[in-house]
């Protein structure tokens, strides 16, 4: 009777329920969450620090970096448990982009063949066009250093150059030096502060021309003109990188195609 009477009271049931809750909680706590600071993690943290610091991290800096990694991992896990990653477009896009990057970078690609490189150049030659550039030799005659003899010096220097004198042996010092290679017309005009359309012409190659400025006379000889057309050998590294990138993008497209087979797309039709 005593037992039957006791079972009619609510207290034993509350005790039993509390015990069950404790046991279930203890069961989950028996296998606590763990954070594994693996050699791979240490390597990644070290690499990031080295990139940021532009040098290998000290032991203290590495340990601090690992502590920050652990803090970040703890916060991430708790945020995930709280559902903070749900319905967040920023996190959604970040994770999608991260998986895309993994698919790209973990794709082992063979070296592109010669024909693949040439096909890439042939397909988009305009992509690899460079600007028109010029090679110029320069002799400077300073107004301040010449004084009243400025004009005679200019004429005498032009005569010496016409007779084949070495440009470095005549004229005055110019901060940018006597030779300019592979510069655009805009770059030359910024250097000399003048319009050089009449000077930088293909039909003027080899001829000495004079350009006056407030500082003095600039005697210019146009040595070469580059039309900017693609040079296969010079472009080989860029072509290789572009071909590899196209293959990686194709790999991502193939991966997405396979993923679409796993999911049903429920999209409402437009009215």
Q: What is the DSSP string of 84-118?
A: TTTT-HHHHHHHHHHHHHHHHHT---PPPPHHHHH
Contact 141, 155 (CB under 8 A): no
Give the pLDDT confidence score for residue 134 in this predicted structure: 95
Summarize the confidence of residues 64-90 as an average pLDDT.
84
Give the pLDDT confidence score for residue 36 in this predicted structure: 86
Tens digits of residue pLDDT in 1-60: 444 454 444 444 444 444 443 433 444 343 456 788 888 889 989 988 988 888 999 999
More confident residue, 73 or 2: 73
**Mean confidence (pLDDT) of the chain:** 83
Tens digits of residue pLDDT in 177-207: 899 999 999 999 998 888 898 899 999 999 9
Distance CA 97, CA 71 (A): 23
Query: How many residues are listed for the chain in this entry?
Result: 271
- All residues at 6 or more sequence positions from 159 whose CB lies less than 8 Å from its CB, including other chains: none
Domains of the chain: 87-119+233-260 (no CATH), 130-226 (3.10.50.40)
Distance CA 12, CA 124 (A): 82
Contact 189, 196 (CB under 8 A): yes
Q: What is the DSSP string of 184-248?
A: -HHHHHHHHTS--TTTS-GGGBT-EEEEEETTEEEEEEEEEEE-----HHHHHHHHHHHHHHHHH
């Amino acid at each position: 009777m005593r037992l039957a009477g006791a079972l009619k009271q609510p207290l034993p049931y509350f005790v039993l329920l509390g015990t069950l809750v404790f046991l279930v909680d203890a069961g989950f706590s028996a296998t606590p969450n763990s954070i594994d600071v693996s050699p791979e993690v240490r390597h990644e943290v070290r690499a990031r620090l080295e990139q940021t610091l532009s040098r290998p991290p000290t032991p203290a800096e590495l340990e601090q970096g690992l502590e920050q990694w652990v803090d970040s991992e703890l916060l991430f896990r708790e945020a995930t448990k709280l559902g903070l990653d749900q319905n967040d477009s920023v996190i959604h896009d970040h994770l999608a982009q991260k998986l895309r990057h993994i698919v790209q970078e973990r794709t082992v690609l063979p070296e592109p063949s010669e024909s693949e490189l040439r096909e890439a150049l042939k397909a988009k030659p305009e992509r690899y066009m460079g600007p028109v550039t010029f090679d110029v030799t320069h002799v400077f005659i300073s107004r301040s250093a010449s004084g009243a003899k400025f004009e005679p010096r200019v004429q005498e220097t032009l005569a010496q150059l016409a007779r084949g004198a070495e440009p470095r042996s005549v004229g005055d010092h110019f901060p940018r030096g006597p030779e300019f290679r592979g510069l655009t017309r805009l770059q030359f005009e910024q250097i000399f502060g003048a319009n050089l359309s009449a000077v930088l012409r293909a039909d003027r190659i080899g001829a000495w021309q004079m350009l006056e400025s407030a500082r003095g006379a600039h005697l210019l000889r146009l040595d070469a003109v580059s039309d900017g057309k693609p040079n296969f050998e010079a472009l080989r590294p860029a072509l290789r990188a572009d071909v590899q990138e196209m293959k990686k993008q194709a790999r991502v497209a193939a991966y997405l195609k396979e993923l679409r087979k796993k999911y049903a797309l429920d999209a409402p039709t437009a009215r």
